[in-house]
């Protein structure tokens, strides 16, 4: 069985969408894959409650616990890697995980670490993507599933969804429509990735 570990920081809506599709489409039987754990860097993340309700194992690696460490990011990522590797993951999925990962972490999971970003990359990497798209006068926005590399919000694109920017849109209204598309394309991109490595191990 190929294990998928999902990392979250907040509501976990993408995590829930992935887990629901995995169950509905019987990934365990059809793709020899399962969501085996949800890990958060925030103890109060709402997504942990959702994961519990879905009977998914959860774990917390609180980044604030490393604030006094001489190299807090490195120490946090090392501890996070230990928590992830305990599940022997085939794929590590960032689903609203709001941490910039160290190059060593990214290298450790090279080729099996993916992320979803709320813009049509390469446009608008980083934060505040919806407001930036509106401010730039974009007629379209969207979301991108991509492999993670050491460069922030770069890496090979696996899937994209396009959403029109409507007259009167603000960041909240545009963000809600983009998020609805994220819930559709992220599980599909993961299933496609799993099928690909089934054919080309």
pLDDT tens digits, one per residue of 57-101: 999 999 999 999 999 999 999 999 999 999 999 999 999 999 999
Mean pLDDT of the chain: 96
> How far is the CA of 89 from the CAs of 125, 128, 133, 144, 166, in angstroms?
27, 31, 35, 22, 40
Is residue 117 annotated as part of the catalytic site, yes or no? yes
Q: What is the pLDDT of residue 198?
A: 56
The CATH architecture annotation of domain 2-199 reads 3-Layer(aba) Sandwich (3.40)
Is there a contact between 83 and 6 (Cβ–Cβ < 8 Å)? no
pLDDT tens digits, one per residue of 109-134: 999 999 999 999 999 999 999 999 99
What is the model's pTM?
A: 0.95
Catalytic option among 63, 117, 146, 183: 117
Q: What residues form DSSP beta bridges with 146?
A: 115, 157
Inform me whether the pLDDT recorded for 201 exceeds 60: no
């Amino acid at each position: 069985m190929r294990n998928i570990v999902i990392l979250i920081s907040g509501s976990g809506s993408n995590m829930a969408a992935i887990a629901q599709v995995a169950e509905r489409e019987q990934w365990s039987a059809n793709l020899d894959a399962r969501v085996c754990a949800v890990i958060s860097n925030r103890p109060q993340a709402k997504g942990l409650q959702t994961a519990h309700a879905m009977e998914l194992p959860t774990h917390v690696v609180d980044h604030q616990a490393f604030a006094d460490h001489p190299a807090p990011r490195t120490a946090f990522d090392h501890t996070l890697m230990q928590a992830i590797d305990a599940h022997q993951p085939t794929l590590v999925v960032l689903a609203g995980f709001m941490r910039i990962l160290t190059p060593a972490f990214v290298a450790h999971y090279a080729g099996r670490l993916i992320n979803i970003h709320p813009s049509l990359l390469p446009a608008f990497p980083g934060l505040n993507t919806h407001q930036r798209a509106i401010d730039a006068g974009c007629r379209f926005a969207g979301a991108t599933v991509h492999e993670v590399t050491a460069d922030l919000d770069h890496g090979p694109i696996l899937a994209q969804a396009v959403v029109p920017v409507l007259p009167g849109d603000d960041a909240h209204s545009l963000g809600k429509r983009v998020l609805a598309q994220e819930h559709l394309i992220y599980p599909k991109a993961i299933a496609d990735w799993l099928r690909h490595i089934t054919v080309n191990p």
